[in-house]
Structure 1
Amino acid sequence: MLMPLFIPSTLFPSTMASWSLVCLSLLTLLLHSTAAGRVPAIIVFGDSSVDSGNNNFINTIARSNYEPYGRDFDGGRPTGRFCNGRLASDYISQAFNLPSVLPPYLDPTYTIKDFAVGVNFASAGTGYDNATSNILGVIPMWKELEYFREYISKLKGYQGEVKAMETIREALYLISVGTNDFLENYYVLPGRPSSYTVEEYQNFLVDIAEGFVNELYRLGARKIDLTGILPMGCVPLERAMNGQLPFSMGICNEEHNRVARDFNTKLQLLVEKLSRERSDFSLVYGDLYDIFDGVIKSPVAYGFDEVINSCCGDTGIVEIGFFCTKYVTCSNADKYVFWDAIHPTQRMNQVLANYIVNTTLARFR
């Protein structure tokens, strides 16, 4: 609540016009001061698009805690991010005057003091579908929620219950997941296609997303960004599989891109539905498909030279994870849209973050 302002009568202007100007100026200052710091923490859920290193601490091969990953990170060290540097979620946090690097929840070198202003629960290789997380033995989304409940308990112990619940209520939640459900699961393994058409599978995933968002709301979250998936048919690995062997570069898989767009539309409809149901809920849909598609079609306009091949690996087409050796990488990753055969470079992550901060997330700043 704003405290009333008491101004000595000797400072009162002599004319009504001057007094109105003073009132307007004071109101502007008050609104600015209350808007500043409206988001006390950034809390992240999802997959490798936002995992800052949680998979380093579980038994899985889905890790990137080795060179050349992290080559352009501060200190040139691998962190578990599937990138040469920072992720879009890191840049978003920085844009809200919060830590420029969001710590992974499972990293024991961080404490609740660090997590109180930003924490990352994401796990590379996961999906909305539990069957997706089982493929590489990574953290399923339900487990990310379980860690969040544990986090709330720790936060109450650190900040006190009232302050902690205020932090939970005012924090900004980023959810970025879904691509693996298609590229790692539906289009690779026989289980889900035998049970669902692609549209039915999309609906299945959206139902899970709805349950996830509803549980966050129940736990106290009120500011949530549900991010759609990117043009997955244009990642280097998809282009390669869409071409002729031996991996001659093909065009984007437009069928997979269409599925991505349709899925995003369903997510957007979900956001609209849940927003209508709750007046105290700021749920937004984060549309990154169009900006990513724009970069792919006009890379030079965004400062990129290479949009087809990735920076790391012998071919720059199929390498990811252990196949990205530190001996074969491009000299300047900032000129590349993709770092490995699936994931964007730090520079591309910065482009995505700048876009969403100035569009979807602008209302929270």
Structure 2
Amino acid sequence: MSAKSLCYYLLLLVVYFSLSASSTAASKVSAIIVFGDSTVDPGNNNFIPTVAKSNFPPYGRDFDGGVATGRFSNGRLVTDFLSEAFGLPSSVPAYLDPSYTIEQLATGVSFASAGTGLDDLTAKIASVIPLSQQLEYFVEYKERLKLAKGESIANKIIAEALYIFSIGTNDFILNYLVLPLRPAQYTAPEYVAYLIVLADAAVRDAYDLGARKIEFTGLAPFGCVPAVRTLNHNEPGECNQEYNKFARRFNAELQEAVRKLNGELAGVQVVYAETYSVGSAIIANPSGYGFENVVQGCCGTGLIDLSVLCGVDEPLTCQDAEKYMFFDSVHPSERTYRIVADNVLNNALQVFL
């Protein structure tokens, strides 16, 4: 190879690696910032006066160190797996946990609160943190980040972060489908539409605060969680298909809202993360996903055990949560969360990789 050819070859390599580095940097996620309910709460409820807590055994028994962090599962959540997949820490910390410094929260933080919803009434029912307050905490977080990192670096972290919303189930199973107030005000389609307006407003609020990469998670088939099966008076032990209709209606309207947001907000990329289909697929074919039980939770009797009831019935808790789709009567096991995370990563979040 002549000297001229060698120089040309080296130049091509430099250009190639420069472009590759530029592409990687452009798609890099600086942090995972989370809003939502128990599906993504890593322990914020530990620090507020509510009964909606899980900071005791058997919760967290498969988490690093066997610690019950406040996550409603035996181990990690979807957001923890996503954080790791983006090259960030293997778990997303709770904003209200004083043991974390702003330096640690700079690569990921969750403002989520178990029991909350898009509807502020849902948060009041469970005495937890409403979504509006979570967004206020985010404003506070931004100011803390600027003080710690400087305005330029803080703004870069905020702009390049991935924002995840996982919320909505409690508006139905703790509110509309069990209490009389909202049904007296809204028909079923009207209530779903009302929630979509709130979801749209929350995304716009996050956008105004600097969010540009946003994922909004659709609802899973919550009519099939063990507690709902147990309380299904018409068909005990079976999925409540009326409940699942609410999830499908919400998801369809949320996808339309996402399309609208992308068309109206400059420079934003909002994606819808599908979870209903993967949940349904597991329920239809448990063994295909390595599960032996999809109708009961691992904790206690597995029928209505949740939060403190899991602690009371801890001696009854299953030995191997890997075989169970659900850890308690409402929340998935770590293994289920991993499957959902892989699905979300390989589909909705591909644009951010």
Q: What corresponds to 2:349 in structure 1?
A: 361
Cα offset, 1:250, TM superposition: 2.2
Do the aligned residues in 2 keep the contact of 1:243 with 1:251 (CA within 8 Å)? no
Do the aligned residues in 1 keep the contact of 2:122 with 2:175 (CA within 8 Å)? yes
Scaled by the length of structure 1, the TM-score of the pair is 0.92
Scaled by the length of structure 2, the TM-score of the pair is 0.95
Instruction: Report the count of equivalent residues.
Output: 350
Q: Does 1:331 pair with 2:322?
A: no
CA RMSD of aligned residues (A): 1.8
Cα offset, 1:73, TM superposition: 1.0
Q: Per the alignment, in what secondary structure is the counterpart of residue 337 of structure 1? A: strand
Q: Does 1:318 pair with 2:272?
A: no
Q: Per the alignment, in what secondary structure is the counterpart of residue 65 of structure 2? A: coil
Q: What corresponds to 2:334 in structure 1?
A: 346
Identical positions, percent: 48
Q: What corresponds to 2:5 in structure 1?
A: 13
Q: What corresponds to 1:300 in structure 2?
A: 287
Q: Per the alignment, in what secondary structure is the counterpart of residue 303 of structure 2? A: coil
Q: What corresponds to 1:5 in structure 2?
A: none
CA distance in 2, matches of 1:194, 1:12: 81
Structure 2, unaligned runs of 5 or more: none
Regions of 4+ moved over 2 Å = 18-36
Q: Per the alignment, in what secondary structure is the counterpart of residue 294 of structure 1? A: helix
Q: Does 1:52 pair with 2:38?
A: no
Q: What corresponds to 2:174 in structure 1?
A: 184
Q: Does 1:204 pair with 2:191?
A: no
Q: What corresponds to 2:103 in structure 1?
A: 113
Change (3 A) 1:142 1:11: farther
Of 235, 238, 262, the residue aligned with 1:275 is 262
Matched letter for residue 338 of structure 2: Q
Of 241, 244, 248, the residue aligned with 1:261 is 248
CA distance in 1, matches of 2:20, 2:296: 49
Matched letter for residue 84 of structure 2: Q
Q: What corresponds to 2:21 in structure 1?
A: 30
Matches within 5 A, 1:125-204: 125-204=115-194
CA distance in 1, matches of 2:292, 2:299: 15
CA distance in 2, matches of 1:20, 1:74: 47
Describe the superposition over 1:206-258 as per-residue Cα deviations: whole angstroms up to 9, x where unpaired. Answer: 111111110100011100001111001000011111146xxx84211111111
CA distance in 2, matches of 1:225, 1:140: 19
CA distance in 2, matches of 1:189, 1:41: 38
Structure ID, larger Rg: 1
Matched letter for residue 90 of structure 2: S
Cα offset, 1:29, TM superposition: 3.2
Cα offset, 1:358, TM superposition: 1.1
CA distance in 1, matches of 2:120, 2:3: 65
Cα offset, 1:278, TM superposition: 2.5
Matched letter for residue 206 of structure 1: I
CA distance in 1, matches of 2:84, 2:51: 30
Structure 1, unaligned runs of 5 or more: 1-9
Q: Does 1:75 pair with 2:65?
A: yes
Change (3 A) 1:19 1:108: closer
Matched letter for residue 123 of structure 1: S
